[in-house]
Amino acid sequence: MLKIKRVSAAFLVLMLLLSAAPTLVSAAEGGENEESRVDEASKTLQRRVQVMLRIAERTADRIGGFIEKIRRNDVLLKSLEKADLLDDFNGNASAFEEAKDLLDKAKALIEKGNYTLAMVKVKEALTAFRGAYGTMHRIIGELTAVENQRKVEGLIVAVNRTLERLEEVERLAGEADGETSDIIQQARELLNLTEIRALIKAGNVSEAAHRLAEAGRLTAKAFKALKAKAEERLAQRTERFLEMIKYIQRKVAEKIRNAGFNASEILEGAGLGNFSGTRQRILEKIRSLNCTAIRKIIRRDLKAICIRLHRMRKTLPLFRVVEKPKIKDILSNPKIWINKTVFISGVYYGWKSPKGISGPNYTGPPETRSDWIISDGTGWIYVTGGRIPIGWMHRAEKHRRFESSRGAMRVAVIGTVKVKIIKGSTVPYIHAKLALILPGTAKVLEENLGNETAVSKHRHMLMVSVHVKIENETVLVTVKVTNKANGTVVFPNEAYGVVIERKIGDEWKIYKKPLSIRKSAELKPGESANVTVKMHRPPAGAYRVVSAGWLKKTHQPVTGFAEFSLP
């Protein structure tokens, strides 16, 4: 019986366990589902936070780029400052930087797994970005309004300036022709300030600007027409002025000629010789109606001619009382020439007396260290003072030092004979009132004086030979210079005075000068020297090489040349 009771109890316990089993299984399954739902929600939140973070970062990049562009634009920053908007811009930029810090905090929270708080930070950053964008939009809108107002004000100022210019053109026009008057009237109608203000008020700024541009074009057209007429009148007046100068020059030349002088030579020495060529050149420029060229001619060429002509007219009385002795006459009896006005033409010798020609007993300058020497072949004498043109002495001295191979410079002096006792010697000299550089070289003077040592006698004392070598586009000309004279020949440079000339028409013109140091060179009798000259793509034609120097003892020029041709 007891055994049966135990079995029954065990059976009841087993049944209870079996009946509770489904409940336990169901409870276990419910716990697992809850954990799964929590994990899924967390992952969804993580994805949402990351998506929102990327959106916020792209927004930050765009707004940051926009702010950076403004900061790099100096013109825009100045405009913001003028409009009192720069502080607003800087404050908004600072707020934007603070919003970017929220994104950094959100990233840190995401790494820690705190997605909820990270989402809060991202949303706060996006809200701040939205505010920054709105503020930027407002600032730019206000700036645009300010700039538009300035444009309107600038347009009104431009209209007023164009009106002022139009009034000036109208004043210059006076009683202009019908066409010019119509143009001025059309421009004035376009510049009606009342109508332009009405257009601007209605927002039609482009039409107002178009009217201003058209009025400006018409004003320029009217001014151009007036300028053409003014240039035409200026050209006519300049031509009449040239005719008057020509008449005065002709009268001056006539008076010089009547006094027994070579008028052409004197006028050329005074810078008035080639007036016909100068006049023709001026007329060509005038007839081109180039106002700038005409003004330049008046200020430079005509002014210089008038100054020279005025000086020459003031000197004319001297030609009526002047005498023309030889220098030897003054040296032989200086007392009878004291205070007499004389005309001396000869060769400029600077501050070095010529050898072999007689002069005063005292060889030093009588007045100043700037006194210079003139020689007519019969003797030499010092010249001091006088109205020497600006740059005259420099030109003469430069020629004497560096260009004497072309022949000594011819000069002429009108002045008063003075006498001074120096160291017991009676020293005559000339106090110049007019000094001129005459055309030509000493060769002409010496031949006219009948000097036995004329240049023509010393020609071809240099033997010149030429060897030409053509290499592609380069021509090498090797020149050999040989001294055939009985004395040493001095050359102005280390190129032995060599110059290559080209024949153009009937004239020989300098084509090439070899580069050389301005240091004299010498060749003794029988000696030779070589000089090589390089020419790049010279034109075909006839050429010649000229070598020029002077005899060391007598200072007389010597020359030699050789001709050649290029295909």
The residue count for the chain: 567
- Which strands sit side by side in the sheet containing 462-471, from one edge to the other? 462-471, 474-483, 528-536
Q: What is the mean pLDDT of residues 128-156?
A: 73
Is pLDDT of 535 > 80? yes
**Residue 188 domain-assigned?**
no
**Residue 159 domain-assigned?**
no
- Max avg pLDDT among 35-49, 87-101, 165-179, 279-293: 87-101
Higher-confidence residue of 378 and 301: namely: 378
Is pLDDT of 458 > 70? no
| Last residue of one domain, picked from the residues 99, 120, 147 | 147
Alpha carbon 510 to chain centroid, angstroms: 29
* Residues 381 and 423 reside in one and the same domain: yes
**Residue 260 domain-assigned?**
yes
Please give the pLDDT value at position 129.
79
Q: Is the dihedral of CA 506, 512, 514, 517 positive or negative?
A: positive
The secondary structure element, H or E, covering residue 519 is none
**Residue 26 domain-assigned?**
yes
* Residues 440 and 500 reside in one and the same domain: no
Q: What is the mean pLDDT of residues 406-423?
A: 81
What is the three-class DSSP state of 528? strand
Please give the pLDDT value at position 482.
92
Please give the pLDDT value at position 380.
93
Question: Regarding beta strands 541-551 and 489-491, do their DSSP bridges make them parallel or antiparallel, or are they unpaired?
Answer: antiparallel
Average pLDDT, the chain: 75
Give the number of domains in the chain: 4
Q: Are 136 and 92 in contact (CB under 8 A)?
A: yes
| CA separation for the pair 486, 480 (Å, rounded) | 18
Q: Are 271 and 335 in contact (CB under 8 A)?
A: no
* Residues 40 and 86 reside in one and the same domain: yes
**Residue 33 domain-assigned?**
yes
Residue 183: partners with Cβ closer than 8 Å, 6 or more residues away: 218, 221, 222, 225
Q: Are 392 and 377 in contact (CB under 8 A)?
A: no
* Residues 364 and 401 reside in one and the same domain: yes
> Which residues span the domain enclosing 428?
327-451
| Last residue of one domain, picked from the residues 451, 477, 510 | 451
**Residue 501 domain-assigned?**
yes
**Residue 187 domain-assigned?**
no
* Residues 425 and 461 reside in one and the same domain: no
| CA separation for the pair 180, 187 (Å, rounded) | 11
**Residue 133 domain-assigned?**
yes
Please give the pLDDT value at position 20.
41
CATH of the domain at 510: 2.60.40.2360
Higher-confidence residue of 31 and 452: namely: 31
* Residues 367 and 440 reside in one and the same domain: yes
| Last residue of one domain, picked from the residues 102, 117, 147 | 147
* Residues 315 and 333 reside in one and the same domain: no
Higher-confidence residue of 374 and 458: namely: 374
* Residues 337 and 313 reside in one and the same domain: no
Q: How confident is the model at residue 18 (pLDDT cuts 50, 70, 90)?
A: very low
- Max avg pLDDT among 26-30, 37-41, 120-124: 120-124
Q: How many helices (H) and strands (E) does the chain have?
A: 14, 14
Please give the pLDDT value at position 175.
57
* Residues 559 and 467 reside in one and the same domain: yes
Percent of the chain with pLDDT over 70: 75
